[in-house]
């Protein structure tokens, strides 16, 4: 065996290995085990210091990142939620209807002394909009101590009447008001203005529910007809008193001057134009219209009050109303003139 020298042993130590000779008991032979010394080399003092500094910086940044949001939240709560300056002292309610400030404050669950910043404005708005009389709500804070509620209520256009269901107008318990879109709500103040609203009579309908929209398309068209008719004829002393929905194709409108006009559901605007033209042409005839059916576009059937006809024709006796099939049969009782010819031309469409 070659003799080991000291230089060889030193080289092995420089490579980081140490040889340990261990005797392993075995029946067959003796074994020599070589163990590796895996200990990492020692870092210089300067590198250790730099590494320690980096670790401290990382920990400091992490602590700062966590503490800043917590500090901001604490400061926000101290400034707004625990500050007596933001205590609610004034509730300003603006509404265009009959709902009172006390009623709206009760529904919104808002009272003086509450913290203004803790109020959930969206929840307040949704709570007030649940009222059937309410169409739209706006809620806003006004620093430091004021809450503003702006409420737009549904404007009633007519009363609902349904004899088969026992629904009558001017009844605050069983009656329903309707706005322009056909939404149903109760009357909270039965004043003279509410009593003067027209009545929409509907025979075939499901049991109505407050806050829902009426299903009948003819009834919804009738509500818009009421608004448009009043806009055009109210200066002529013609306001709608009653509107009868017989079917889903035609509606009968009764005016304050007892004139009864039948309109088509889907083209009542054209019917209003025709009625305006007929009224203009008959204004100087000394006769009053009794019924007009503007469902037809040509040969429009009209009748006149018999009292007016009797005053111009001594042969016409009796009382009540004549019911001719068209304007021609009534006008035939008088001598034809240019006015009558022009009226016939209008009613026959040319």
User: What integer pLDDT is reported at residue 247 of this predicted model?
Assistant: 87
Helix, coil or strand: residue 239: coil
Mean pLDDT by 10 residues, the chain (350 residues): 54 49 48 54 65 71 66 51 71 90 88 85 93 94 89 96 94 95 95 95 92 94 96 91 92 95 95 94 85 91 75 42 42 45 55
Contact 294, 253 (CB under 8 A): no
User: What integer pLDDT is reported at residue 105 of this predicted model?
Assistant: 87
User: What integer pLDDT is reported at residue 46 of this predicted model?
Assistant: 67
User: What integer pLDDT is reported at residue 248 of this predicted model?
Assistant: 87
Q: List the one residue out of 168, 165, 247, 244 whose CA is nearest residue 206.
A: 165
User: What integer pLDDT is reported at residue 145 of this predicted model?
Assistant: 85
DSSP state, residue 156? P
pTM above 0.75, yes or no: no
Q: Which long-range contacts (CB under 8 A, 24 or more apart) does 7-11 make?
A: none
User: What integer pLDDT is reported at residue 113 of this predicted model?
Assistant: 82
Contact 56, 90 (CB under 8 A): no
Residue 114 exposed, middle or buried by CB count within 10 Å (0-12, 13-18, 19+): middle
Distance from chain centroid for Cα 111: 26
Distance from chain centroid for Cα 255: 33
User: What integer pLDDT is reported at residue 191 of this predicted model?
Assistant: 93
Residues 6+ away with beta carbon under 8 Å from 89: 112, 145, 146
- Looking at CATH, the fold of the domain delimited by 84-153 is given as Ubiquitin-like (UB roll) (3.10.20)
User: What integer pLDDT is reported at residue 20 of this predicted model?
Assistant: 47
Residue 43 exposed, middle or buried by CB count within 10 Å (0-12, 13-18, 19+): exposed
User: What integer pLDDT is reported at residue 143 of this predicted model?
Assistant: 85
User: What integer pLDDT is reported at residue 197 of this predicted model?
Assistant: 97
Domain residue ranges in the chain: 84-153, 155-217+235-257, 267-350
């Amino acid at each position: 065996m070659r003799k080991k020298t000291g230089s060889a042993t030193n080289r092995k130590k420089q490579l980081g290995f140490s040889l340990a000779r261990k005797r392993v008991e075995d029946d067959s032979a003796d074994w020599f085990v070589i163990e590796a010394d895996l200990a990492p080399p020692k870092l210089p003092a300067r590198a250790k210091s730099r590494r320690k500094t980096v670790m401290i910086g990382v920990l400091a940044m992490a602590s700062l990142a966590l503490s800043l949001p917590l500090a901001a939240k604490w400061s926000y709560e101290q400034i707004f939620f625990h500050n007596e300056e933001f205590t609610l002292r004034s509730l300003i309610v603006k509404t265009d209807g009959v709902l009172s400030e006390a009623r709206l404050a009760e529904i919104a669950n808002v009272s003086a002394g509450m913290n203004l910043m803790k109020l959930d404005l969206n929840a307040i708005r949704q709570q007030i909009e649940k009222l059937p009389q309410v169409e739209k709500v706006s809620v806003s804070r006004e620093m430091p101590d004021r809450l503003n509620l702006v409420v737009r209520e549904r404007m009633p256009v007519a009363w609902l009447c349904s004899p088969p269901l026992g629904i009558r107008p001017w009844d605050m318990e069983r009656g329903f008001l309707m706005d322009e879109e056909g939404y149903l709500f109760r009357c909270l103040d039965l004043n003279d203005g509410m009593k003067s609203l027209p009545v929409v009579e509907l025979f075939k309908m499901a049991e109505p529910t407050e806050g829902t929209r009426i299903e009948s398309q003819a009834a919804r068209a009738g509500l818009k007809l009421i608004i448009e008719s009043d806009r055009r004829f109210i200066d002529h002393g013609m306001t709608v008193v009653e509107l009868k929905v017989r079917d889903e194709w035609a509606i009968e409108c009764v005016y304050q001057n007892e004139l009864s006009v039948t309109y088509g559901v889907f083209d009542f605007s054209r019917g209003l134009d025709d009625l305006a033209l007929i009224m203009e042409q008959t204004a100087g005839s000394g006769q009053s219209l009794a019924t007009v059916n503007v469902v037809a576009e040509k040969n429009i059937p009209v009748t006149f009050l018999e009292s007016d006809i009797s005053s111009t024709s001594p042969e016409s006796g009796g009382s009540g109303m004549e019911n001719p099939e068209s304007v021609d049969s009534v006008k035939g009782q008088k001598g034809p003139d240019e006015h009558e010819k022009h009226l016939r031309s209008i009613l026959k469409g040319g």
